[in-house]
Amino acid sequence: MATLTLRNIIKQYTQGKQSLQVIHGVNARIEDGEFVVIVGPSGCGKSTLLRMVAGLEEITGGVILIGERVVNALEPAERDIAMVFQNYALYPHMSVFENMAYGLKIQKLPKQEIEERVRKAADILELSALLERKPRQLSGGQRQRVAMGRAIVRQPQVFLFDEPLSNLDAKLRAQTRLEIQKLHGELGITSLFVTHDQVEAMTLAQRMIVMNNGRMEQFDTPEQVYSQPASTFVASFIGSPPMNLLKDAPGVPAGQILGIRPEHMDLSPGSGWPLLAQTVELLGAERLVHALLGDEALTLRLDESVSAPRPGQRFEATARPDRLHHFDATTGRRIAR
């Protein structure tokens, strides 16, 4: 295991006289044994950043260190990393055992050691009964576990996961998330995991990097990212439904944006902000009320025990004062209170 350090990482594509910079000076240190998730919308640069760590993309500027070793010029096979991809990339003609053992055979490890590593990984991932099957005989979740097993047996210093759950249905994604958490708890290998899914990020990460247009907006624990978002982008990306961001809320100073999460608003007849209900979504034990405050859209999350306003109804609500967030209207950055 090892630390993973990114120092002022830059990626720029050049064609003729045209150049496009897609990663803008990312700095981060992933501690030994830490599980860090890179999250952001499509096209934000998260997979490009991961591929640079893996050696699959050249870096334009900056330094990548695995442990104390600079790996900028090293080939992927020389970096002591193992990568799990979105598409499993299993050999269809090989059994589960052969798929997991293939990389070790290439390294010419002793047959007994290969056998021990594969069977240990199979036990951890509950694949022992499937070792003789071919990939076509497995479910999507089982194939992804085989792909993880292939990475485990290499005993790398760093695990890299590139959206490994994207091809699974919702139930399998939830199940596989738990398996990845359990796996990390048992192995404790430094891990970098890329996803566009904020639920995956919040549930898996010990710390998370939120990316936006090739820039690192925030690097912090899931709790801090949720409760103290560093910018309006983070506030609107993390949380479902996203944080309400209001420019014209009562009492907001000029040049500021007021943020309030839907779950931190309460109905307050006779003493709150005047709102007009637009639509109401029933979500089992909760209701989402989409409303207007003047011309600005606003969402409330209400418990089922609360009588929600009907579409077209005027009502009043207040924001909990200890849960307000203030952002600079020009930069979008958080204002310390």
- CA dist 119 and 264 (Å) reads 49
Torsional class of 223: left (φ above 0), alpha (ψ -120 to 50), beta (otherwise): alpha
Please list the residues that pair with 298 across neighbouring strands: 291
Looking at the chain, the domain(s) classified CATH 2.40.50.140 span 241-328
Per-residue model confidence (pLDDT) at position 115: 93
Which H or E element spans position 14?
A: strand 4-15
Given CATH 1.10.10.10, say whether it is the number of domain 4-234. Answer: no
Cα-trace Rg, the chain: 24
pLDDT along the chain (337 residues), means of 10: 94 90 96 96 94 95 96 93 85 94 91 93 90 92 88 91 85 85 89 93 96 97 96 94 92 92 94 95 92 95 91 95 95 91
pLDDT tens for each residue of 220-267? 999 999 999 999 999 999 998 999 999 988 888 889 999 999 999 999
Per-residue model confidence (pLDDT) at position 11: 96
pLDDT tens for each residue of 255-283? 999 999 999 999 999 889 999 999 999 98
Per-residue model confidence (pLDDT) at position 170: 81
Whether omega for the bond prior to residue 321 falls within 30 degrees of 0, making it cis, is no
- CA dist 242 and 234 (Å) reads 9
- Token pair for residue 314? 């005027």
Looking at the chain, the domain(s) classified CATH 3.40.50.300 span 4-234
241-328: CATH class: mainly beta
27-60 in b/e form (b: 16+ CB < 10 A) is ebebeeebbbbbbbeeebbbbbbbbbbbbebebb
* Structural contact between residues 97 and 91, judged by C-beta atoms closer than 8 angstroms: no
* Structural contact between residues 83 and 151, judged by C-beta atoms closer than 8 angstroms: yes
DSSP letters spanning 247-290? SS-TTPPTTEEEEE-GGGEEE-TTTSEEEEEEEEEEETTEEEEE
Which H or E element spans position 18?
A: strand 18-30
Per-residue model confidence (pLDDT) at position 178: 86
Tokens 């899914």 locate to 197
Which H or E element spans position 159?
A: strand 158-162
The structure's pTM equals 0.90
| Of residues 80, 66, 73, the one with CA closest to residue 29 | 66
> Distance between the two ends of the chain, CA-based, in angstroms?
39
